[in-house]
Chain A
Amino acid sequence: EIVLTQSPATLSLSPGERATLSCRASQSVSNYVAWYQQKPGQAPRLLIFDASNRATGIPARFSGSGSGTDFTLTISSLEPEDFAVYYCHQRSNWSPSFGPGTKVEIK
């Protein structure tokens, strides 16, 4: 079983600031990592797939990087609508799993 850990658990930032979220896998998952955004009362939305590819309609301020066991989601300049919970996800070995999430909150 591949376990994902995310840090920090909570990130307190102001609009316009840069957000850097981390995801670490317990073993190599190549580039098989995605990132999802979830706002209160809403379903998750795919942001990034294969570690660094933006999903359709996702603004360019969202970017992903990493491979192997360490991955990063960066939001270059936070907009008010970006305050949400972000989950990483790995799709290896017929047993997908999610990280525990990072909450990006308004400082």
Chain B
Amino acid sequence: QVHLVESGGGVVQPGRSLRLSCVTSGFIFSDYGIHWVRQAPGKGLEWVALISNDGSDRYYVDSVKGRFTISRDNSKNTLYLQMNSLRPDDTALYYCAKDVTPRATGWFDPWGQGTLVTVSS
């Protein structure tokens, strides 16, 4: 059974950094692209970033470009999101979601349960 478990969230001051992790199991991690998606409290879903199976393709939503970096370690079946220069509007539950294709150009299935990031002074 496919599992994705996010961690690394917490309360952080504006301007500081945080690194999220997503540990996966139940599938061949190196065969699939994967995404980060966030959901601000009481709001809808916002795609944040994607990375292809081999890490060669990485794309970001405009609001995080230059601040966030997505990466993966296929030897550890783990996805990361390095978040720098955090802002209050980055406050959200961050989900990782497995793509159904290697290039991360498909659908998101399944999703982890999320890790909460709160940016506040």
Is A18 an interface residue when CB atoms closer than 8 A count as contact?
A: no
Measured in the bound complex, the distance between the Cα atoms of B61 and A55 in whole Å is 26
Which B residues from 76 to 121 make CB contacts under 8 A with A?
95, 97, 100, 105-114
Number of B interface residues in the complex (CB < 8 A): 23
If the complex has contacts A87-B44, A101-B44, are A96 and B111 also in contact, measured as CB distance less than 8 A? Answer: no
**0/1 interface trace, chain A 67-104, chain B, CB 8 Å (1 if under):** 00000000000000000000101010011111111000
Q: Is the CB of B59 within 8 A of A95?
A: yes
Q: Do residues A46 and B59 form an inter-chain contact, with CB atoms below 8 A?
A: no
User: CB of A44 within 8 A of chain B?
Assistant: yes
CB distance from B92 to the nearest CB of A (A): 13
* Binary interface encoding of chain B residues 41-84 relative to chain A, with 1 for a CB under 8 A from any of its CBs, else 0: 00011110010000001010100000000000000000000000
In residues 25-51 of chain A, which contact B (Cβ within 8 Å)? 34, 36, 38, 42-46, 49
User: Which interface class (under 10, 10 to 19, 20 to 34, 35 or more) fits A?
Assistant: 20 to 34
Task: Please give, as numbers and ranges, the residues of chain A lying within 8 Å of B105 by CB-CB distance.
Answer: 91, 94
Q: How far is the CB of B64 from chain A (nearest CB, A)?
A: 13
A44 CA to B47 CA, complexed, in Å: 13
Interface of B is mostly: strand
In the complex, residue of chain A having the shortest beta-carbon distance to the beta carbon of B6 = A43
Contact call B44/A43, Cβ cutoff below 8 A: no
A46 and B45 contact, CB distance less than 8 A: no
Shortest CB-to-CB span from A88 to chain B, Å, is 10
Contact B44 A100 (CB under 8 A): yes
What is the distance, in angstroms, from A67's C-beta to the closest C-beta of chain B?
A: 16
Inter-subunit contact A55/B109 (CB<8 Å): yes
Chain B residues, CB < 8 A from A34: 107-108
Q: Specify which chain A residues have a CB less than 8 angstroms from the CB of B47 in the assembled complex.
A: 95-98
Report chain B residues within 8 Å CB of A100.
44
A25 CB to closest chain B CB (Å) equals 15
What is the minimal beta-carbon distance from B84 to any residue of chain A, in angstroms?
22
* A45-B110 in contact (CB<8A): yes
Interface residues of B (CB under 8 A from A): 35, 37, 44-47, 50, 57, 59, 61, 95, 97, 100, 105-114
For this complex, 25 residue pairs linking A to B, each with C-beta atoms less than 8 Å apart, are A36-B45, A36-B108, A43-B110, A43-B113, A44-B45, A44-B108, A44-B111, A45-B110, A46-B107, A49-B100, A49-B109, A87-B44, A89-B45, A89-B107, A91-B105, A91-B106, A94-B50, A94-B105, A95-B61, A96-B50, A98-B44, A98-B46, A98-B47, A100-B44, A101-B45
